[in-house]
Amino acid sequence: MARFTLPRDIYFGPNAISELKNLKGYKKAFIVTGGHSMRKTGFLQKLEDVLKDAGLQTYIYDGVEPDPSIERVYDGAKAMREFQPDVIVAIGGGSPMDAAKAMWVFYEYPEKTFEDIKNPFTMPKLRKKAIFVGIPSTSGTASEVTAFSVITDYSTDIKYPLADFEITPDIAVLDSDIPMTMPKTLTAHTGMDALTHAIEAYVASARSDFSDALALKAISNIYDSILDSYNGDAQARGKMHIAQCLAGMAFSNALLGIAHSLAHKTGAVFHIPHGCCNAILLPSVIQYNSRVCMERYAQIAREIGLPGVTDKQLTNALVDSVRELNRKLNIAQTYKDNGVKEEDFKAHCQAIAENAVGDPCTGSNPRETNAENMLKVLTCAYYGEDVNF
């Protein structure tokens, strides 16, 4: 038996936030957001106005940092318990949405600890106190539709991807007006994160016909629109916002692979944005996994019109096309070129590889991977060498 889980409702298009008027009948909304961008652009005020017009009291919990910590999660859960909301609304990038999901667990179960839920599919039943609404401001993480939440333990420098269908949001709001405010670098990093989601989902061991259709459509739309979106085209920004959501629905059910395993661990240690880590790793991981699923990568290449006759030619073309996208998005192709000093890399690479093996995403990678091979892939991504083992 397999399972495919999505939010109950997805509102999308210009001014989609206004559809939250449908929350009429609920009493209190706890709004989680990041720094100042949603406030400065007016979207936080717009959200609050819609909720108040629907008769809800609101409380704004702001200041969630990138790569939110366990301590941030506990602090937010404490504020939730004091306010007692029946709706939790997260607006912003992946970090406030991920933090809000974890806060939700400890709001409903204050006796639980992070240790109790950090392993995949160990969450208790939610929705005893509140439902969850996700409103993304970036076009990449897709946390508004996924069963994932990435939280960092800074005492060990390890990112934990919490995974459970219980934390799949009830409502997703894809308001295409919001991503127009993204700066170019963020557009590049989140776009490559979305592409990595879709490609990894298409080859993941838990894939299905449902996830395959979503993943291929996402890949096609991303290739059509990512460069124009990076250069500020409004229509392309809107198309990317939908495409990253399609990728999210695919990977939330098909799961991911070792590009994400290594991105979680390298991002926490070297403090490189998650989407940038994925962009660096994706060509190396495609080469590594192609030993066992080359025909899947070849199908992706055919879908987006890349040249080649054999599966090998098509897979090579896919690797080259990812590298070309990175170049056009001004993403340096290696960890070395992204400022990681060789002595720092050598000091941490073994521990990163070992921790990546234990990452929940590794279990669904199409090729079985041990610490030795994980280290080899990581080393290739550091120096920009091809993976040929």
pLDDT in tens, 305-341: 999 999 999 999 999 999 999 999 999 999 999 999 9
Strands (E) located in the chain = 9-13, 28-32, 57-61, 87-92, 131-136, 148-153, 158-163, 171-175
CA-CA-CA-CA torsion sign (320, 264, 123, 75) = negative
Token readout for 255 is 């799961």
Q: Measured between alpha carbons, how far apart are the two ends of the chain, in Å?
A: 34
* pLDDT per position as a tens digit, 94-137: 999 999 999 999 999 999 999 999 999 999 999 999 999 999 99
* pLDDT per position as a tens digit, 84-96: 999 999 999 999 9
